Chain A
Amino acid sequence: MAEIPASLARVMEELGRLPGIGPKTAQRLSFYLLRTPRDSVERLAAALIEVKARIRFCADCFFIAEAERCTICLSGRRDRTLLCVVEEPLDVLAIERTGEYHGIYHVLQGALSPIDGIGPNELRVAELLARLRREPVSEVILATDPDMEGEATAAYLAQQVGGLGMKTSRLAHGLPVGGELEYADELTLARAFSGRRLFQ
């Protein structure tokens, strides 16, 4: 029986570690890459290495950044009294596309999910509270996903933030229940911002 050469097996193994990619898909992708011209494979490899070298998470808000701080945090044109809390960097991009929001962000890098062992300590919650203590924020907009984990996370944060004495509000209007922010269309998301309601 013919054996798979070690170099090819390594590619399959590495691809198979990626989320959502099983052994079959890893094999298919590996053989696709073998058939692909050398220069495009080199471009892919170089792009991966470059992104890893250049991109990191912003030291303040944990959005993606090419320096210590992200372009949003560094911008002089943002309203620093408004802070929007989201689960993932992709959520920031979705909100930015609406053009409706001019405040700053805080990316939790996930949501509470006891099944997956994720509690407040596994999220950027302590960093959020520290920021709120030192920055001049007057309203915190909780824009976690409208699913069960997102709701629990928002309720938890509302309590924590409430202790600091600032206003908290929740995106709600029209967002599909059980959905993910990242997939909400721009109009719905824009409406969700203007229709946000205060947390009791």
Chain B
Amino acid sequence: MFLSNVSLFDFRNYAELELPLERSTTVLFGGNAQGKTNLLEAVALSALTRSPRTQQNAELVRFGQQAARVTATVQSQDGLEQVETRILMPPEASSGRVLRQFRHNGRDCGPAGVQGCLRVVLFWPDDLQLVKGPAEGRRRLLTMLLSQLDRVHARWISQYQHLLDQRNALLRAVRDGRQNAGQLDYWTGGLARVGAQIMVDRQRRVLELQPLAAAFHRELSDDRERLELRYRPSGARIGEAPVELVAQQLEAAMAAHREEEIARGQTAVGPQRDDLEVWLDERDARQFASQGQQRSAVLSLKLAELHYLAEATGEQPVLLLDDVMSELDPSRRERLLAALEPGPQALITAADLKDLPPSVLEHAAVFRVERGTVHA
């Protein structure tokens, strides 16, 4: 698939932008804080229905404005599709929530109506902490990948988040004596059922992602290192267990942690606590991996994501590379660039054109990003 146009209105530091894109590589360069990442974020938002950068939707609306709009036009196997995302601020002085609205080909729909029209793989400086950083980053990788492959998974994720917010609010209310602990069960059951679905999906996909990541890592390490991905579900042992059994395990684990959950006002187990560990040669990379090993592992994971999405859908996703070329040494950079060869459309940002090899610039459409505008 390829992104043929991006149109922004009051999104981050963009007042208005109309950017037609070519199937070939697009390079966006410019100084700090000019809007390069913001633009890639807008593309990722169109694919994921949420920003990969923030949970606070209000941040996406240009300062002082009431609504932001992002429209992505995508050319895929299914023809030309338009995905429109709007973020609406609540009226001033009201305590309402920030709203997200979606349109598919000009027609109103829910998030599920736009999911899967555009698929992206995002690689940005945050990812360099993927291996050793907090588990949240690794969970986000799984959620981004799985939601783009499977609308039902995306729905489980948003239902789970909603139920989790309700249950955590209830735990705090119980702790503070505002509500009775007896009600907890009615939220626990639903949460465990949805959580189990997420975990079973994660387990299956990690098993499929694993050989791809391992193969890339073997290549990057000149056949020296064995990379392994280990999914660590929180509060359940999955194996071959059917969803119902996983749900029962989760429910039992929540019951076992009840005192602690009430004291902390937080649900103690479930997919929000999962981890995806990266192991190198039978050792947990979080503890010992060098900078170089981490970089190879991250790059392997990203290449695996790219290939997995392409294989599973029969279509190349759009690759978003934010400022990572300068972070990679020449050989890793070569490997990443090789992935661009046969295939995916890429949007690449850099602070300076000098950070990009001539082989990329030669065939790319190059734009300068400057204070929320983009020009040739």
Contact = CB atoms under 8 A, between A and B. Distances in A.
Interface of A: 16, 21-25, 112-115, 117, 119-120, 148-149, 151-153, 155-156, 159, 178
B166 A120 contact: no
A19 B187 CA distance: 28
A114 B94 contact: no
Contacts of B189: 155
Contacts of B183: 112, 114, 119-120, 156
A119 B180 contact: yes
Size bracket, chain B contacts: 20 to 34
B301 interface: no
Most-contacted residue by chain A among B162, B173, B180, B183 (CB, 10 A): B183
Contacts of B91: 16, 21-25
B190 interface: yes
Nearest to A122: B179
What are the nearest 9 A-B pairs in CB distance?
Answer: A22-B91, A114-B170, A114-B169, A155-B186, A119-B179, A152-B186, A156-B186, A115-B169, A114-B166
B156 to A, nearest CB: 12
Contact of A22 (B90, B162, B178, B185): B90
Interface string B160-184: 0011011101100100001110010
B92 interface: yes
Contacts of B162: 148
B221 interface: no
Contacts of B169: 114-115
Given A112-B183, A119-B178, 14 more contacts: A21-B91, A22-B91, A115-B165, A115-B169, A119-B179, A119-B180, A149-B166, A152-B186, A153-B186, A155-B185, A155-B186, A155-B189, A156-B183, A159-B185
B159 interface: yes
B312 interface: no
Given A156-B183, A156-B186, A115 B92 contact: no
Nearest to A20: B96
B93 interface: yes
A114 B167 contact: yes
B166 A115 contact: yes
26 contacts: A16-B93, A22-B94, A23-B92, A112-B183, A112-B186, A113-B166, A114-B166, A114-B169, A114-B170, A114-B173, A114-B183, A114-B187, A115-B165, A115-B166, A115-B169, A117-B173, A119-B173, A119-B179, A148-B159, A148-B162, A148-B190, A152-B187, A152-B190, A153-B186, A155-B186, A156-B186
Interface string B133-177: 000000000000000000000000001001101110110010000
A27 to B, nearest CB: 11
Contacts of B94: 22
A112 B165 CA distance: 13
B142 to A, nearest CB: 23
Contacts of A21: 91
Contacts of A159: 185-186
A23 B93 contact: yes
Contacts of A23: 91-93
Contacts of A115: 165-166, 169
Nearest to B187: A152
B190 A114 contact: no
Contacts of B163: 148
B166 A148 contact: yes
Contact of B166 (A25, A152, A155, A156): A152
A115 B166 CA distance: 5
A156 B179 CA distance: 14
A115 B165 CA distance: 7
A13 to B, nearest CB: 10
Nearest to B179: A119
Contacts of A16: 91, 93
A61 B93 CA distance: 35
B18 to A, nearest CB: 26
A190 B82 CA distance: 37
Contacts of B190: 148, 151-152, 155
A103 B90 CA distance: 41
Contacts of A178: 159
Contacts of A120: 180, 183
Most-contacted residue by chain A among B90, B165, B178, B186 (CB, 10 A): B186
Interface in B200-255: none
Nearest to A120: B183
